[in-house]
């Protein structure tokens, strides 16, 4: 993985002030140097500048970027962040067309594929990516983002200039782009956050290229288009055929994602998703006489402070131990202290450029930093719940039929600490409702579906396009903060396309959540793990963490310059801090409940202070 940035303007000759604009490219790259600490490079021509920070995973010496090729008297350049997993097939076809590769990097394969097949070539790629290609023949800068949005790509237009980068902070180093916020920014923060409306960068006039989209910027202007969308199709496979095809797709995805010129490890939580990925990766390496390194995460004192609830019924460690008994894994268990976690809440804002999933972001930031001391590439179990229907809102009727985003339908909880002036000004209910209705209009449907099947398809689509994006964004930023590449086999677009159309009765066979995944992987996991009820990513249960949050928020309340206090009702906040916190009633997802509301407001305060917005 890497960091990319750049700019383009057809009305300006950047070479007339070459040193100035080269420095801008350096400044933008240095802001995201954590994404690629191994190498760096820049490319400046009359109308375009590209900059790159490289994390070298494939062809460690030959894959330097920006990469440039010439053909027919024109120059083509690329900066790329990601991994393409079908390079072998692409390389063979390109060779038949006369392209001779000078490296073994997937970067060169992408650039040559563009030159060979044209702008629509992206549909041939299997992988996770965000990249920019300068097409000298057509005098066009093109941006591409992978189908599921695993890798980020932000952009802003300022007059005749287009500026882009892997993270907003890179854009803010361009002289034309400054962080700013408007009412919609705070509607996103308080009404939608930590999710974001697809394409919305939250900062005013800052955008994110949507998953499955590409964009072209030329003298004719700027245009975006979707090159991939989910399609609703009738599922005709029997259950046995569906299990067989799902099993093959999963095995193929993991095997493809083991391709690397550095070792690959895995995150092992003790849940079924990460255990399946770990088992397949371990089997792959064992055939080569190698062992897989694995890492699990938990919080200090959780063993004694854990409280079971409907969302998190069991602890993870016993199930990790079962996997260690079944596979030859080189395992490390990492723990995070409460004080470290609280301290990292604010650093997580800097990494993500926005308030996020509070202690989940902060803990992943800590754990990824620990893993990076040992490894450079990690497989994760992210995205399985979205495609196999593992979340409670897929099968609990009151959540499934909630009139709104099912992971965030309790808007009253979000407004619990806001003052009435803010509530009236932002009109959160109307804003969230509008975003929800917009999303429903996009859902690919089959004609004549029964109401229950129609609703399940809606919830499936909303999860893929909204909720999953939040988790992917979290994983990208917290891993790339340390130059750790996190791969997501469950986000292989072939799996997503197939599972989107599998009927709920097959995913929930015999009333068992994620039954299809369990049956497809029954030969991989020990029985007690295979039957385990879903338990999400761990969160801290120690009262020490809650006390630290309360103390820090009291300090914010007493600070006359604290920017978040323009939105907070002090009396509501005092009562909230004095009352017992509800861990079993999340206001976002499954993990963000009472303590996380305090942490979120601390992050909002840090965001407003750091970026001088609001």
Q: Which residues are catalytic?
A: 2
Select from 302, 301, 295 the least CA-distant residue to 269: 295
> H-type helices in 447-569, by residue range?
451-462, 468-480, 493-500, 504-507, 515-520, 527-530, 543-558
Bridge partners of 141, per DSSP, are 134, 217
The Cβ of residue 120 has, within 10 Å, a number of other Cβ atoms equal to 11
Select from 68, 70, 24 the least CA-distant residue to 165: 24
Q: Is 307 left (phi over 0), alpha (psi -120 to 50) or beta?
A: beta
| CA end-to-end span of the chain | 33
> H-type helices in 353-450, by residue range?
359-372, 384-388, 392-395, 397-400, 411-414, 420-426, 428-442
The edge-to-edge listing of strands for the beta sheet with 264-267 is: 329-336, 292-299, 264-267, 377-379, 485-487
> Following DSSP, what letter does each residue of 326-372 receive, concatenated?
HS-EEEEEEEE-HHHHHHHHHHHHHHHSS--STHHHHHHHHHHHHHH
> H-type helices in 141-236, by residue range?
168-171, 183-187
Coarse DSSP helix, strand, coil percentages of the chain, rounded to the nearest 5 percent: 45, 15, 35
Bridge partners of 432, per DSSP, are none
Q: Which one-letter DSSP state was computed for residue 282?
A: H
Q: Which residues contact 105 (CB under 8 A, 6 or more apart)?
A: 58, 59, 62, 63, 67
């Amino acid at each position: 993985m890497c960091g990319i940035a750049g700019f383009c303007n057809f009305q300006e000759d950047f070479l007339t002030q070459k040193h100035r604009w080269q420095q801008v490219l350096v400044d933008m790259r240095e802001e995201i140097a954590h994404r690629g600490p191994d190498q760096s490079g820049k490319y400046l021509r009359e109308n375009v500048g590209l900059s790159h920070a490289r994390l070298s995973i494939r062809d460690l010496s030959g894959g330097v970027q920006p990469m440039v090729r010439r053909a027919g008297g024109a120059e083509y350049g690329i900066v790329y962040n990601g991994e393409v997993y079908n390079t072998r097939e692409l390389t063979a076809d390109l060779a038949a067309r006369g392209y001779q590769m000078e490296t073994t990097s997937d970067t060169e394969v992408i650039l040559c594929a563009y030159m060979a097949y044209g702008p629509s070539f992206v549909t041939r790629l299997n992988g996770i990516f965000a990249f920019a290609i300068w097409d000298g023949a057509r005098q066009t800068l093109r941006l591409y983002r992978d189908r599921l949005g695993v890798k980020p790509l932000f952009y802003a237009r300022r007059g005749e200039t287009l500026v882009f980068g892997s993270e907003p902070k890179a854009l803010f180093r361009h002289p034309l782009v400054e962080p700013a916020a408007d009412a919609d920014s705070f509607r996103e923060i308080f009404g939608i956050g930590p999710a974001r409306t697809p394409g919305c960068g939250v900062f005013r006039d800052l955008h994110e290229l949507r998953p499955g989209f590409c964009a072209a910027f030329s003298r004719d202007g700027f245009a975006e288009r979707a090159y991939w969308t989910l399609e609703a199709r009738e599922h005709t496979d029997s259950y046995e055929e569906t299990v067989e095809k799902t099993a093959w797709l999963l095995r193929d995805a993991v095997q493809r994602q083991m391709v690397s010129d550095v070792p690959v490890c895995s995150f092992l939580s003790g849940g079924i998703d990460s255990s399946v990925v770990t088992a397949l990766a371990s089997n792959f390496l064992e055939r080569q006489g190698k062992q897989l390194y694995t890492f699990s995460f938990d919080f200090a004192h959780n063993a004694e402070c854990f409280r079971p609830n409907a969302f998190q019924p069991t602890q993870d460690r016993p199930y990790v131990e079962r996997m260690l008994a079944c596979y030859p894994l080189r395992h490390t268990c990492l723990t995070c202290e409460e004080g470290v976690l609280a301290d990292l809440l604010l650093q997580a804002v800097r990494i993500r450029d926005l308030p996020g999933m509070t202690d989940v972001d902060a803990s992943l930031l800590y754990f990824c930093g620990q893993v990076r001391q040992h490894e450079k590439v990690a497989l994760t179990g992210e995205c399985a719940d979205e495609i196999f229907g593992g979340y409670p809102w897929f099968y609990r009727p009151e959540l499934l039929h909630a009139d709104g985003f099912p992971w965030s339908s309790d808007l009253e909880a979000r407004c619990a600490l806001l003052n009435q002036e803010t509530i009236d000004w932002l009109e959160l209910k109307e804003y969230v409702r509008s975003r929800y209705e917009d999303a429903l209009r996009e859902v690919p449907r089959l004609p004549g579906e029964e109401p229950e099947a129609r609703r399940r398809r809606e919830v499936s689509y909303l999860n893929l396009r909204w909720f999953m994006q939040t988790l992917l964004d979290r994983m990208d930023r917290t891993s790339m903060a340390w130059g750790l590449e996190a791969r997501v086999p469950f986000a292989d677009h072939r799996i997503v396309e197939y599972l989107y159309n599998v009927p709920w009765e097959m995913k929930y066979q015999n009333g068992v959540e994620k039954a299809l995944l369990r049956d497809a992987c029954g030969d991989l996991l020990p029985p007690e793990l295979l039957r385990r009820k879903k338990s999400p990513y761990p969160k801290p249960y120690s009262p020490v963490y809650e006390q630290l949050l309360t103390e820090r928020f009291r300090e914010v309340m007493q600070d006359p310059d604290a920017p978040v206090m323009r939105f907070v009702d002090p009396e509501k906040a005092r009562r909230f801090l004095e009352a017992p916190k509800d861990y079993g009633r999340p206001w976002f997802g499954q993990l963000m409940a009472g303590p996380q509301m305090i942490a979120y407001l601390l992050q909002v305060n840090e965001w407003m202070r750091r970026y001088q917005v609001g």
